[in-house]
Structure 1
Amino acid sequence: MRPVVLYGIDISHHQGAFDLGRTRAEGFEYAFLKATEGSSFVDSRFGANLGNARAAGLLVAAYHYQRGDSSAAAQAGHIINTVPADVPVILDVEANGGGPDLSRDIIGRLLAAGYRSPLLYLPRWYWEQIGSPSLAGLPPLWYSRYASNEGGYASEIYERYRDFYDAQWGGYGGLGVAILQFTSSATVAGHAPVDANAFRGTREELAGLLGSSTPEDDLTPDQAQKLNEIHHELFGPRGPQGQIVGWGTEAGNHTAIGLLVHMFNALLGPRPSRVPGAGHVLVPAVEAIRDTNGVVYQLPAMINAGATGDPQAVAEALRPVIAEAAGPAIRESVTEVFGADDPARTEAVVQAIANRLAAGQQIPAQAPAPQAPAQQPPVQ
């Protein structure tokens, strides 16, 4: 039995105004929308396309045209300033787009800022042109391969060449194919020609691949919206206030939420990605914040504090969680200094630090150096 195929489109300003409600009514399930290019270009239709696609019930992702002459920091920053953090971002790597190392750097910065990057558009011809490098550690492929330039409705084109397209899912560079762009000649919502794409699986599986909301999510729409608002206002370089000075990155100082996400990843390390072929990844901010099994799950406190618009209130609400997240790492470090056979002294130091965090006190930048412990034999 052949797998179910879901159809989608990818569009930019080149198509002009696009009736995405009609697109959904014609049976399409998703839309990939051009958002940015390099370090400065913004697609003039991105905002309208995104709003209309979501209103129509389409699953969405934004794509960024990678430029080899712009740094990863500049391109990631441009994406962050343009694309909402709850929209998955796909890198489009073609002529003059640089190589996979640049893609890894950009994606790493996006993940650290709370974005998802579930796919990579890197055509086979360009991959071969740059020497057929390993693509290990990158997301699965959004691959383009056309059987012909004949037009028509998307499903008719795919079925016309079904055997050919069914053979195009093998991948290259160590990555598999998750989405197949199988034509640039489809007629969609009265427009032609339009790029059309295929996904082999259910809508729920595609939503899982993209990291979109699914019926199994435990958040109400209002909670999800509030979570994204808090994330946008308070996380990383986007937040105009509330950053914790001294806990910084190239992009600037992080907020309490950013600090928690870094703690989460520092304590637990990279985990297997839920996206097939993506390897091990750090937890993005939004997932870490709302992970019901994680140490940073404090959604009600964040919603209540965030509603006041007071970053200090958010920080206070999160302070007990910071203590909980930091506790195991602090206890391990203090045990290394004082020795495993002095549990009382270790616990006293850990408790003192926890009390400071809970009380909102600042730990001095230059704390008195602890007295050197007596030499202890190694633990056997």
Structure 2
Amino acid sequence: MRVTRTTPRRRSPLGRRTLLAAAGAVLGLLGLTVTVPSTATAAPQAPASATSDNPELHWMGSTVAAHEGEGAPPAPGSASLAETVPGMDVSHYQGAIDWAGAYGAGARFVYMKATEGTTYQDPNFSANYTGSYNAGFIRGAYHFANPNSSSGTAQADFFAAHGGGWSADGKTLPPMLDIEYGSSSTCWGLSQAAMRTWVTDFVNEMHAKTGRWVTIYTTTDWWTQCTGNSGDYGANNPLFIARYASAPGTLPAGWGFYTFWQFADSGTFPGDQDVFNGPMSGLQNLANNT
């Protein structure tokens, strides 16, 4: 089912300058004038559908609801949340985050945007990475893939050099590849074979750079359309499945279980609402590469 989300959660409200300009138009009809003062550039507006190549408008799941719709999230205490650890994912759209407050509300892990393509770095990444660590979170960085702009190897190199590293400190999750719907075409203009090559190059280069197999964030629908539902990655790469519903549903080929699940794009914690599939000790094992 494909529906367009009419009220995206990250869409900024009308700014003061926009409201004054509208008022000026009305007063102009009455023969009056109004002066609109100059202001700083407004925050980027999130599109109603995934049609922009602007990396500031991309985050984990920024294209998912528009392509796949949204259902009711799992109820607290439901079977789909049994034996899971709550967490979240964020980017600069959340602004300054109250990390102590999110931890106090129960979140124990977070993934945060670090890079996109081979030029973009999320402006809040450093603050988020440090703030989450100091609050006690197990945290990790993710890269938003633009497979049509450069090779998987080149983007992996950029990611590894700008936040995508890993350290055996017990607090760092494996780096993650966020690969989802393209802005101009679902599969970024690549064939299924070319997309598999791109993902393989990214995965292998990150493993060579960090010693960790990256987590792969995607949806079953996108993965099926754009890789031919490849089963080549389940043996090594943890799966972060995106599905805004009461259960994670059918998983992509090759994965017998999910490691993380993004089940809603708003809720108790800042950003998207996620769970780790297992107890806290399992999350710690993943961080420690054991």
**TM bucket, shorter chain:** 0.5 to 0.7
The answer (yes or no) to whether the contact 1:4–1:202 under 8 Å persists in 2 is yes
Tell me what 2:200 maps to: 104
RMSD between aligned alpha carbons? 2.2
TM-score (norm 2): 0.61
2:281 is aligned, of 204, 207, 222, to 204
Task: Measure the CA separation in 1 of the matches of 2:96 and 2:208.
Answer: 34
Tell me what 1:95 maps to: 181
Q: Which runs of 5+ in 2 are unaligned?
A: 1-77, 183-187
Change beyond 3 A, Cα 1:210–1:109: same
Cα distance per residue 1:254-294 (max 9 Å; x no partner): xxxxxxxxxxxxxxxxxxxx6xxxxxxxxxxxxxxxxxxxx
Tell me what 1:142 maps to: 240
Change beyond 3 A, Cα 1:105–1:29: same
**After the TM superposition, which segments of 4 or more aligned residues of structure 1 sit over 6 Å from their partners?**
none
The answer (yes or no) to whether the contact 2:145–2:177 under 8 Å persists in 1 is yes
Find the residue that maps to 1:4 and give its secondary structure: coil
Cα distance per residue 1:20-40 (max 9 Å; x no partner): 111111111100010011111
* More helix as a share of residues: 1
The one-letter code of the counterpart of 1:130 is C
Tell me what 1:183 maps to: 264
Task: Measure the CA separation in 2 of the matches of 1:55 and 1:40.
Answer: 28
Find the residue that maps to 2:268 and give its secondary structure: strand
The one-letter code of the counterpart of 1:136 is D
The answer (yes or no) to whether the contact 1:89–1:115 under 8 Å persists in 2 is no
Structure 1 residue 169: Cα displacement: 5.9
The one-letter code of the counterpart of 1:12 is S
Structure 1 residue 182: Cα displacement: 0.6
1:58 is aligned, of 137, 145, 166, to 137
Change beyond 3 A, Cα 1:5–1:89: same
Task: Measure the CA separation in 2 of the matches of 1:115 and 1:16.
Answer: 31
Structure 1 residue 140: Cα displacement: 2.8
Tell me what 2:224 maps to: 128
The answer (yes or no) to whether the contact 1:169–1:180 under 8 Å persists in 2 is no
The answer (yes or no) to whether the contact 1:85–1:114 under 8 Å persists in 2 is yes
The answer (yes or no) to whether the contact 2:114–2:162 under 8 Å persists in 1 is yes
Cα distance per residue 1:176-225 (max 9 Å; x no partner): 3111111002132xx5xx3100123211201222436xxxxxxxxxxxxx
The one-letter code of the counterpart of 1:50 is Y
Number of residue-to-residue matches in the alignment: 191
Task: Measure the CA separation in 1 of the matches of 2:196 and 2:231.
Answer: 6
Task: Measure the CA separation in 2 of the matches of 1:201 and 1:80.
Answer: 27
Point out which structure has higher relative CO (alpha carbons under 8 A, 6+ apart): 2
The one-letter code of the counterpart of 1:123 is T
Task: Measure the CA separation in 1 of the matches of 2:199 and 2:287.
Answer: 18
TM-score (norm 1): 0.47
Give the share of equivalent positions with the same residue, in percent: 28
Task: Measure the CA separation in 2 of the matches of 1:132 and 1:73.
Answer: 21
Find the residue that maps to 2:228 and give its secondary structure: coil
